[in-house]
Chains A and B, each alone.
Chain A
Amino acid sequence: MNDVCICLFAAPNFDKSAQGLAGAGRRLAAELDGQLLAVIVGAGADALAAEVARIADTVTLADQAELAEYQPETCLNALAQLCGERSPRAVLLANDTYSQEIAPRLAYRLGGSAVGDGVEVRVEGEALRVVRQVYGGKAQAVIELKRTPAVVWLRARSFAPAAERAESGEITRAALDIQADTRTRIVERKREAGGEARLEEARVIVSGGRGIGGPEPFESELKPLAELLGAQMAASRAACDAGWVPPTWQVGQTGKKVTPELYLGIAITGASQHMAGISEAKVIAAINTDPDAPIFKHSRFGIVEDYRKVVPLLREKLAALQR
């Protein structure tokens, strides 16, 4: 009853998000004096299971045919069954698309309470409390969950990983009695070009905003700069909504929450909803014509100039310095 159950979806490797989730789960389990249980849904996750087992007490792989590929309803049925059998005190998930889609419904089926986008989870007396940003990052709230289990999806990448244990936890395969729910079915999956490497995993990000002025400069100016820095490209909501770049590039409260070592914001004003997506970046730097642009309030260093003048010169300087 004091156990913590982490839910993951099958992936080829133990990425920063999964590591953060396992780390958060391990620490919460220690605080509650319970075990850390892991559940992985989907096929092809043996390598991931082996990695998770170095942190968790037990790992359950649910990879039977009906669950091989993510389908919302079937997957939810499986997770409700798996978590239900384990009666944990808390269920933790990451903040990927599928976890966010499922978490509130999972809480409902388990009779618990959900809260999302958590940056901290703590035990206070009998209650579990979760810290999260609200009002587009302008404020921070502490939410107290009233029902059990607490189902929390986390900004997993900003949680520290846990140390590997001396002995790996046991890995078992679940054999669930589950019917495929065909009311909804994913009939097509498409990866966005450049979406191969995940923005959330990027160590350097070059990002453009409304001030870029159109799709072309992303290609002609920002892309060569990103290549030079080994960076991934991103954009503000304004640039995505204008159709200049794909929506998968969007960083902010409603886009990706990123955690790079360096976030270079170019012609981005830095509305709070955008800043909410980069609050965990180690260093923010900005190029903007307006010295009062809010992004500078969060930047370690900046330059007040037109990016059209700065970026070509910056590429030259960086190339020379890297030589």
Chain B
Amino acid sequence: MNILVCLKQILDPEIPARDFRVVAAKREAERGSASLVTNIFCENALETALQFRERAGGTKITVLSYGQPSAEDSLRKALAMKADAAALVVNDGNTNPDPLTVARVLAAANAKLGTFDLIMVGREAGDWGAGQTGGLLAEMLELPCVSFVDSIESVGGKLHLKRQTDTGWETLAAEPPVVVTVTNDEHNVPRIPKVRDVMMSYRQPLTQWTLDELGINADEARAGNTYYDVAELAIPQKETRCEFVSGDTLDEKVEAFARRIIEVTGAM
């Protein structure tokens, strides 16, 4: 099995809201002191791939990213987690390209890298959260797509993809090649690479391409907005003043809390 896992490097989504600012004019988030991390769902995808390789054997995992030069760190970390090969397409254009652009770039890089039985992406990214890369990539590659997968098994030449739904879960039998988008689950929490492996990863080869090397319309990719544009970006001011229930004893406070609850539920 040949697996391709696509990774996106993003601004750490765990930074507290009070430290988060946007540059409204550029319609992007301010970097500030936040670190850059690999999107969690992309890491869940990589972890799912690594576990598949451990069970099924005979599997090669390639990681691919389209991003700023700093995205190399996400790929190095993936190598430290024991991905087999890595490639980066450097984005020297729009720092927030639309999903169609991203899918187009990934599809072109995918073709340069070889043929894959399984292409994995995160269900969405923790920054813009568009949730479209997997579906659009599948369309461009003319492959089927299954979303919200959390585990993959090989069963008699087919892949059994377990995925989460609104009400429970489903298993899909898929004939490779197939594109999947991955979501989080208790079983695919990304492993922490060993410090030594992180250091070693910087000595491993890493393929780098510019947009001009992909055989796509590079200027259009740099513009990155033929699908959609961000017209506005703002932080909504929406704070409620919380009434902390008062009372001299715990009993009084809880009584007051219970009364407030009944005020709401009783009025329904």
Hey, which bits of chain A sit against chain B, CB under 8 A? Answer: 72-73, 96-97, 100-105, 108-109, 113-117, 129, 133-136, 138-147, 181-192, 195, 198, 200, 203-204, 229-230, 237, 240-243, 247-248, 253-254, 256, 261-262, 264, 271-273, 279, 282-287, 291, 294, 296-305, 309-310, 313-314, 317-318, 321-322
**Nearest-neighbor residue (CB-CB) of B99 within chain A:** A104
Given contacts A301-B245, A303-B244, A317-B255, contact A261 B265 (CB under 8 A): yes
22 A-B residue pairs with CB within 8 Å: A101-B148, A134-B128, A141-B232, A142-B230, A146-B225, A147-B226, A186-B170, A187-B173, A229-B265, A247-B185, A248-B166, A254-B124, A272-B16, A285-B257, A285-B260, A286-B242, A299-B242, A301-B242, A302-B245, A313-B251, A314-B261, A317-B254
Chain B residues within 8 Å of chain A by Cβ, number: 85
A60 to B16, CA, bound (A): 47
Say which residue of B140, B150, B160, B168 sits within 8 Å of A191 (CB atoms). B168
In the complex, the 4 A-B pairs of residues with the closest C-beta atoms, listed nearest first: A317-B258, A104-B135, A243-B186, A104-B132
Highest count of chain A CB atoms <10 Å: which of B185, B189, B242, B262: B242
CB pair A114 B254 closer than 8 Å:
no
CB pair B183 A242 closer than 8 Å:
no
User: For the complex, is B100 an interface residue (Cβ under 8 Å from A)?
Assistant: yes
Starting from the known contacts A301-B245, A303-B257, 11 additional A-B residue pairs (CB-CB under 8 Å) come to: A104-B136, A108-B135, A146-B228, A184-B146, A187-B173, A241-B189, A248-B167, A285-B261, A302-B245, A303-B254, A314-B261
Say which residue of A108, A248, A254 sits within 8 Å of B136 (CB atoms). A108
Stretch in B51-59, B76-84, B85-93, B233-241 with 4+ CB within 8 Å of A? B233-241
A29 to B191, CA, bound (A): 49
A145 to B144, CA, bound (A): 25
A84 to B120, CA, bound (A): 29
Closest CB-CB distance, A259 to chain B, in whole Å?
A: 13
Contact with A along B241-268 (1 / 0, CB 8 A): 0111100001101110111111011001
CB pair A144 B228 closer than 8 Å:
yes
CB pair A303 B268 closer than 8 Å:
no
A284 to B168, CA, bound (A): 26
Give B194-251 interface residues, CB cut-off 8 Å to A.
225-236, 238-240, 242-245, 250-251
**Nearest-neighbor residue (CB-CB) of B236 within chain A:** A140
Q: Which residues of B contact A139 (CB under 8 A)?
A: 20, 22, 29, 233-236
Q: Which residues of B contact A184 (CB under 8 A)?
A: 144, 146, 161, 172-175, 178
CB pair B29 A135 closer than 8 Å:
yes
Closest CB-CB distance, B22 to chain A, in whole Å?
A: 6
User: For the complex, is B145 an interface residue (Cβ under 8 Å from A)?
Assistant: yes
Q: Which residues of A contact B117 (CB under 8 A)?
A: none
* Total number of residue pairs linking A and B with CB closer than 8 Å: 264
Given contacts A116-B130, A135-B127, contact A241 B184 (CB under 8 A): yes
Q: Which residues of A contact B8 (CB under 8 A)?
A: none
Say which residue of A113, A134, A305 sits within 8 Å of B253 (CB atoms). A305
Say which residue of B14, B22, B29, B268 sits within 8 Å of A203 (CB atoms). B268
A261 to B262, CA, bound (A): 12
CB pair B235 A105 closer than 8 Å:
no
Q: Which residues of A contact B41 (CB under 8 A)?
A: 254
Closest CB-CB distance, A42 to chain B, in whole Å?
A: 14
Q: Which residues of A contact B183 (CB under 8 A)?
A: 247, 254
CB pair A181 B144 closer than 8 Å:
yes
Say which residue of A145, A191, A273, A300 sits within 8 Å of B13 (CB atoms). A273
CB pair B131 A283 closer than 8 Å:
no
CB pair B242 A297 closer than 8 Å:
yes
CB pair A134 B167 closer than 8 Å:
no
Closest CB-CB distance, B29 to chain A, in whole Å?
A: 6
CB pair A146 B226 closer than 8 Å:
yes
Give B145-194 interface residues, CB cut-off 8 Å to A.
145-148, 150, 160-161, 164-175, 178, 183-186, 189
CB pair A97 B242 closer than 8 Å:
no
A273 to B164, CA, bound (A): 19
CB pair A115 B130 closer than 8 Å:
yes
Q: Which residues of B contact A247 (CB under 8 A)?
A: 150, 164, 183-186
CB pair A145 B244 closer than 8 Å:
no
Q: Which residues of A contact B27 (CB under 8 A)?
A: 141
A318 to B255, CA, bound (A): 8
CB pair A301 B243 closer than 8 Å:
yes
